[in-house]
Chains A and B, each alone.
Chain A
Amino acid sequence: MNEEVATEALKGETLPPARSVLGWPRQAMQSGNWERACERWSILRQVYPEVEAAWVQAAVAHRHVDQYEVAEELLNAARKRFPDQPGPVLELATLRCEQERLDEAMALMAQARADFPESQALLLKSAQVSESAGELDTAMAFNRLAREVFEDAPAPWLQYAELAMYAKDWETALARWAEVRARFPQHAEGFTRAADAAQAMGNERSARQLRLAREYGNAWLESLQDEDDTEEEAEHTITPPQRRDWRTFIDLVWTKARLNLKSEASKNHLRYLWWVLDPVLYMTVFYIVFGVLMERGGPGFIAYLLTGLVPFQWFAKTVQQTSNSILGGKGLMHKVRISPLFFPLVGIVQNTGKQCLVFAMLGLFLVLYGLPPTIHWLAFIPIVLVQLLLMTVVSCLLAMIVPFVRDLTNLIPTGIQFLLFSSGIFYTIDRIPEEWRSIFFANPMANLLYQYRQIFFENQWPDWSGLGWVTLGSLLGLMIVIVSYRRLEPVFPRVVIE
């Protein structure tokens, strides 16, 4: 049907240009339907007898259906018609190879080389014919010539590599494909055929790399292959330790806390100034309310109040902030392997950093208030350290328990409130009946606040034994914390998302 319609169309007076109709028989050839191709070429040959392809390609189609005589006839006719084209001779040589008349093929090629010394296709064909004849050296010689004469053409280089593929010399083939890739990176064969060679060698991995390289380029492939010996590459990579050592861990906590402070400060216009303003305002409020408006507690009450309140606030803020820290760190915990201790510790360091300024303000206030520094202020250092230890224990313990019993978060503000009133911030110790005092001091915060008052307010050395007990208790707590964190470390990532 199609053919008839086509013939009808072609009989019209003006023919479409030959180029536009050649696709029709070629389509049949591409789909391997050689008989149909033969028919189509013969139709075309009638309409476009001056087109070489109509003869030569027809011969190709006939060769595929084993009609060697017809093919030969067509080619001979074509040689006469197109004496200055190498095409018919080339196809004739192919036909001879197919017929296993290799000597004739070689003779044909020799003749053709004399007739068309400039033809690349001819040299390549000569190599091919020699290859079919088993004369690989001759084939190589022709190919070399082709590569020398037509250095910028890809075809001779492709044949060069294919020759090695034909000889099953995969190593050489790979090297030659590499050369093809270097010269003609746009040619897919350089990658795909090299991958075939690698596959034939049994190197699946390299085969896959080659196939991927077609997408990612030759530079990528090369960077892969000489990764072993470039030192620069080694510098670029970092192998993490299986577990952080304690020094890296401390640095991590320190850096995170420092950056958190920086981040916090950058949210406000006055930035770091707030760390000074905040305690100053806070102390001013207490000064106005208790010192000026109420005139409660007699002279010096305001200093007494603040020496207790300032360290307590440090404790309260830290505990409040860190108690939820492990729960809050669940996102990170599921991304990187990190000790859960990281989360409360960052909060503690962060608050301590801010507290330094608050203590400085307190010192300034005391001096202005008429309580100049004495030698006893030196004891401030051990007291602060003990409080830090105590806070670490309390914060870490709470942060550890909260993921398991989340309801506890609701109790923490109340607990802190209770501590605020039971630690003797707003009243002096002598208001407490003698028999209750030991219970009162069992509260470590009450004990610590008492020590602060001793050095700042009473100008005395602290009660070392009391401080010792708190230290001992905190150290014991610290051991419990460390052991339980070790134990629970793998449990936390599960618990926090349940």
Chain B
Amino acid sequence: MMGIAEEIKEADTAEEKGVIISLRNVGVRYKRRGGLFRKPEYFQALEGISFDIHRGETLGIVGRNGAGKSTLLKVIAGIIQPDSGVIVNYGVTASLLTLQAGFDSELPGTDNAIISGMLMGYTRKQVEARMEDIAEFSELGDFIYEPVKTYSSGMRARLGFTVAMYMTPDVLLLDEVLSVGDKQFKKKAEVEMMKKLHSEQSVLLVSHSEGQVNRVCDRSIEI
């Protein structure tokens, strides 16, 4: 156990180096079965993960299927807490880029954009102010006033992506480079994603593809 003084010291030096989130020996396990009457069995999803995220960098995490990539993102986003080790957040916001969060297919595109945006952390006004941009970028036009159940899956994906795209947390957490929709929109979405990856924003990208990570990231770590 570190003393408080040491902890403060470490935090200071970390800040000097531009570290905004650091993970030390983080481990997560899920209960697989068991409970009241049976001895619980656990499944170790992550073990002994340590790394720092620096301000402005694009960090890639490579791992096979089931290596715990999504779990790691959830830990960094603050959705779940690690069972062992520590994660220190030096006062930054980190959120997952999620598509179509909280979509209700009975509702029109506008309402879905509002609720989805609000769930991600916008205020209602912020979404409403961007509604025109959203309709334009997603190429939905007047279709945005129609219920989402009447959309094709491509249109749905375009709307979901567009709403999420405006989100700019300090650390953006990505599960694979998202590219959605039909061929033409895919390119547009990818260009936009690449813009995010290379902006001043810090991005953490997890992927199973080492090539993808090497292509776009400043640094990569294997788990």
Contacts and interface: CB of A to CB of B under 8 A. Distances in A.
B157 interface: no
A259 B104 contact: yes
A336 B106 contact: no
Interface stretch (A239-247, A290-298, A439-447): A239-247
Nearest to A216: B191
**Chain B interface size range:** 35 or more
A255 B195 CA distance: 32
A333 B74 CA distance: 10
Nearest to A260: B104
Contacts of B80: 490, 493-494
Interface of B: 30-31, 74, 77-81, 91-93, 95-96, 98, 101-102, 104, 106-107, 111, 114-115, 118-124, 126, 130, 133, 147, 166-170, 190-191, 194-195, 198-200, 215-216, 218
A238 B122 contact: yes
Q: Kindly name the residue among A224, A238, A259, A334 whose own CB sees the greatest number of chain B CB atoms within 10 A.
A: A238
A337 B106 contact: no
B79 A212 contact: no
A108 to B, nearest CB: 46
Nearest to A221: B198
Interface of A: 204-205, 208-209, 212, 216-217, 220, 223-224, 227-228, 236-242, 244, 248, 251-252, 255-256, 259-260, 262-264, 266-267, 332-338, 490, 493-494, 497-498
Contact of A267 (B106, B114, B130): B106
Contacts of B118: 248, 251-252, 255-256
Count chain B CB atoms within 10 A of each CB in A240, A256, A490 and give the residue with the most.
A240
A493 B121 contact: no
Given A241-B121, A256-B115, A259-B115, A333 B30 contact: no
B96 A335 contact: yes
B101 A239 contact: no
A337 B107 contact: no
Q: Which 8 A-B pairs have the closest CB atoms?
A: A240-B121, A237-B168, A263-B106, A335-B98, A490-B81, A498-B31, A242-B93, A335-B101
A239 B122 contact: no
B216 A336 contact: no
A212 B119 contact: no
B96 A239 contact: no
B74 to A, nearest CB: 7
Given A239-B169, A259-B107, A335-B96, A205 B218 contact: yes
Contacts of B216: 208, 212
B67 to A, nearest CB: 18
A255 B74 contact: no
20 contacts: A204-B218, A209-B198, A224-B198, A240-B120, A240-B167, A241-B93, A242-B93, A252-B119, A255-B114, A255-B118, A259-B104, A259-B107, A259-B114, A262-B111, A264-B106, A335-B96, A335-B119, A337-B77, A338-B119, A494-B80
A263 B104 contact: yes
B126 A220 contact: no
Nearest to B29: A494
A234 to B, nearest CB: 9
A268 to B, nearest CB: 11
Nearest to B214: A208
Contact of A236 (B107, B133, B194, B200): B133
Contacts of B126: 238
Contacts of A259: 104, 107, 111, 114-115
A497 B122 contact: no
Contacts of B198: 205, 209, 212, 224
B122 A240 contact: yes
